[in-house]
């Protein structure tokens, strides 16, 4: 496969850091970004990556300028990994991203652009994602939820630093998926793909539960058409 140029956000630690190092080890070119000073990712520059300061929450005008800056480094970008982010925890949170990403996939596939959402396991990988600096707790609007939030905080604290997953191995698998190599060779890339054994069983259980509901309620589900239709 030809040499690829990767732009990866959020590279000061965790998946971003490991992805950059793995990309370089494969012989590809990498642009590592971080918020604030690039001193935080000097070690990645020393390893061979280009580095940029990039805050994904900046205005569109600033982001457009950063894109142009990045494009000039290696005369193009083949792979973009939106890795930067923090954990947002609450009792319930409505997320519209699913529909948005499906639309993006359909809109860009005609140009030969692949879109993949990698979903790491809930508590799989030993990164700093559950550290106090990266976890944002939503303020309680319903006091009755306080015991639940307290229990969740305790669970997150217990998990932090004890995750079984290796972020380096996860980075390698992500690169395999993009390059269609290794365990991903010869496979059609789905829109969404989970990583980590903890999420595998939960997703299987959810799918089986949904199928059982459809089977148990099939007669009622089919009973709402106009007569004769």
Q: What is the pLDDT of residue 85?
A: 61
Q: Distance between CA atoms of 219 and 76, rounded to whole angstroms?
A: 55
Q: What is the pTM of this model?
A: 0.78
Q: Distance between CA atoms of 130 and 159, rounded to whole angstroms?
A: 8
Q: What is the pLDDT of residue 96?
A: 44
Residue 163, class by beta-carbon neighbours within 10 Å (0-12 exposed, 13-18 middle, 19+ buried)?
buried
Q: Distance between CA atoms of 229 and 227, rounded to whole angstroms?
A: 6
Q: What is the pLDDT of residue 133?
A: 66
Q: What is the pLDDT of residue 161?
A: 64
Q: What is the pLDDT of residue 9?
A: 94
Assigned token pair, 159: 């998990």
Q: Distance between CA atoms of 9 and 52, rounded to whole angstroms?
A: 9
Q: What is the pLDDT of residue 128?
A: 63
Enumerate residues 6+ apart whose C-beta is below 8 A from 28. Answer: 3, 4, 5, 6
Q: Which domains does the chain have, with CATH numbers?
A: 1-85 (3.40.50.720), 89-165+196-229 (no CATH)
Can you give the pLDDT of all 229 residues of the chain as single tens digits?
Answer: 689 999 999 898 888 999 999 999 999 999 999 999 999 999 999 999 999 999 988 999 999 999 999 999 999 999 999 986 655 555 444 344 555 666 777 788 888 889 998 888 765 656 666 666 667 777 777 788 788 878 877 777 777 767 767 888 889 999 999 999 999 999 998 988 988 887 888 889 999 999 999 999 999 999 998 887 7
Phi, psi of 194 (to 5 degrees): -90, 150
Q: Distance between CA atoms of 49 and 95, rounded to whole angstroms?
A: 34
Neighbours of 138 (CB within 10 A): 12
Q: What is the pLDDT of residue 93?
A: 41
Residue 190, class by beta-carbon neighbours within 10 Å (0-12 exposed, 13-18 middle, 19+ buried)?
exposed
Q: Distance between CA atoms of 77 and 97, rounded to whole angstroms?
A: 24
Q: What is the pLDDT of residue 126?
A: 60
Q: What is the pLDDT of residue 87?
A: 54
């Amino acid at each position: 496969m030809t040499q690829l140029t990767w732009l990866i956000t959020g590279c000061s630690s965790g998946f971003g850091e490991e992805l950059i190092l793995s990309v370089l080890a494969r012989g590809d070119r990498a642009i590592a970004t971080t918020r604030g000073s690039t001193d935080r990712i000097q070690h990645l520059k020393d390893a061979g990556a280009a580095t940029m300061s990039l805050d994904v929450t900046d205005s569109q005008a600033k982001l457009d300028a950063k894109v142009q800056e990045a494009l000039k480094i290696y005369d193009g970008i083949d792979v973009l990994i939106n890795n930067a982010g923090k954990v947002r925890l609450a009792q319930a949170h409505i997320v519209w991203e699913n529909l948005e990403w499906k639309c993006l996939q359909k809109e860009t596939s005609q140009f030969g652009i692949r879109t993949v959402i990698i979903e790491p396991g809930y508590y799989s990988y030993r990164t700093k994602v559950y550290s106090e600096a990266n976890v944002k707790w939503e303020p309680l609007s319903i006091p009755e939820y306080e015991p639940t939030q307290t229990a969740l905080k305790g669970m997150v604290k217990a998990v932090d630093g004890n995750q079984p997953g290796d972020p380096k191995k996860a980075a390698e698998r992500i690169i395999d998926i993009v390059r269609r190599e290794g365990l991903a060779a010869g496979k059609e890339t789905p829109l969404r793909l989970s990583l980590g054994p903890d999420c595998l069983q939960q997703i299987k259980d959810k799918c089986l539960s949904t199928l059982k509901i459809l089977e148990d309620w099939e007669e009622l589900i089919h009973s709402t058409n106009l007569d004769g239709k």
